[in-house]
């Protein structure tokens, strides 16, 4: 098989994305309603923070604007997994119905082909809302702006995104080996709600789980320490970019191993 370069996949993705967006725009009412629903969901999260901190000025040393920083940061970091990897939610149905077999015969990377088929545009609304929250918290914490800080922020957000993408890849890939794997996706996805909280507010057991078992602490907490606790940055924060890349690559290998071992429904 001819080796494909990044430019080839970029051009293919651009064409697939254009067609997917056209099909979604033909159902504008559904898109508008879904987007509004997502916005209100995020607003409710913002209000919950306001209610909590109206009664408690801080939680284990974390103030209102620092918590908002984590919240906004996590929303932005979660955007790529929703926009570009949302088709993981359909993987179980495709595998069990036998429809997944069609992805195995294309002369392109199976993982790329499958993920590129769906782009969840509603995730852009989450990105905008998260950016507003992060900007609001950033301004009130007086973090300042510089080229160095912007570069650190971009690297931190990409790193955080890699962790969530990897978590969902691994959860979705279980359907290649387990019959009742749907609950795994739901359970793992719900853990993302804890990503907006600092790991230090949990006991040692949950902190260990959220760092080394289901590493959601890397989605907001560890990357944010670069900005919120610059004088006390743990080693895991500095290592998170390398760990994130490795974790994503492992999830990709597991997903591909499952895809390559797929042999249809047998019917």
The ranges of the chain with pLDDT < 70 are: 1-4, 24-25, 27-28, 30-31, 54, 57, 263-267
- Look at residues 161, 181, 159 and name the one whose alpha carbon lies nearest to residue 258: 181
Asked if residues 114 and 175 have their Cβ atoms less than 8 Å apart, the reply is no
Please give the model's pTM, rounded to 2 decimal places.
0.89
The 10s digit of each residue's pLDDT in 181-207 is: 888 999 999 898 889 889 999 999 999
- The residue extents of the domains of the chain are 6-261
The 10s digit of each residue's pLDDT in 33-71 is: 777 777 777 777 778 777 777 677 677 888 889 999 999
């Amino acid at each position: 098989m001819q080796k494909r370069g990044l430019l080839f996949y970029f051009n293919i993705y651009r064409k697939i994305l254009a067609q997917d967006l056209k099909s979604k725009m033909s159902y504008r009412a559904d898109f508008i309603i879904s987007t509004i629903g997502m916005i209100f969901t995020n607003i409710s999260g913002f209000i919950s923070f306001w209610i909590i901190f109206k009664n408690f000025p801080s939680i284990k040393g974390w103030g209102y604007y620092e918590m908002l920083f984590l919240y906004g940061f996590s929303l932005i970091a979660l955007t790529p997994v929703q926009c570009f990897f949302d088709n993981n939610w359909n993987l179980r149905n495709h595998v069990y119905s036998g429809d997944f077999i069609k992805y195995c015969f294309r002369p392109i990377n199976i993982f790329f082909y499958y993920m590129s088929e769906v782009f969840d545009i509603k995730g852009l609304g989450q990105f905008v809302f998260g950016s507003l929250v992060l900007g609001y918290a950033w301004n009130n914490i007086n973090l300042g702006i510089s080229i160095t800080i912007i570069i650190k922020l971009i690297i931190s957000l990409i790193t955080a995104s890699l962790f969530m993408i990897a978590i969902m890849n691994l959860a979705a890939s279980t359907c290649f080996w387990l019959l009742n794997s749907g609950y795994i996706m739901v359970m793992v996805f719900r853990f993302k709600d804890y990503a907006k909280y600092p790991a230090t507010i949990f006991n040692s057991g949950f902190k260990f789980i959220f760092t080394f078992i289901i590493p959601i602490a890397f989605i907001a907490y560890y990357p944010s320490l670069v900005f919120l606790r610059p004088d006390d940055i743990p080693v895991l924060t500095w290592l998170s970019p390398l760990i994130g890349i490795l974790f994503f690559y492992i999830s990709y290998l597991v997903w591909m191993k499952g895809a390559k071992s797929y042999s249809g429904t047998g019917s």
